[in-house]
Amino acid sequence: MPKIIIIRGNSGSGKSTIAKALQRKFGRGTLLIQQDVIRRDMLWVNDGSDTKAIPLLFNLIKYGKDNCDYIILEGILNAKWYKCLFERIRDEFEPYIYAYYYDLPFEETLLRHKTKPNANEFGEKEMKSWWNEKDYIGFIKEKIITKDVSIDEAVDMIYKDVNYEN
Domain ranges of the chain: 3-163
Could you confirm whether domain 3-163 is CATH 3.40.50.300?
Answer: yes
pTM over 0.85: yes
Q: What is residue 105's predicted lDDT score, i.e. its pLDDT?
A: 83
Burial of 28 (0-12, 13-18, 19+ CB in 10 A): exposed
Q: What is residue 164's predicted lDDT score, i.e. its pLDDT?
A: 75
**Closest CA relative to residue 99, chosen from 47, 139, 40:** 139
Chunked into runs of 10 residues, the chain (166 residues) has average pLDDT values of 96 90 97 96 94 97 98 97 98 97 85 71 74 94 96 97 78
**Closest CA relative to residue 161, chosen from 136, 148, 142:** 142
Neighbours of 32 (CB within 10 A): 21
CA of residue 63 relative to chain centroid, distance: 17
160 sits in which H/E element? helix 151-163
CB 98 within 8 A of CB 140: no
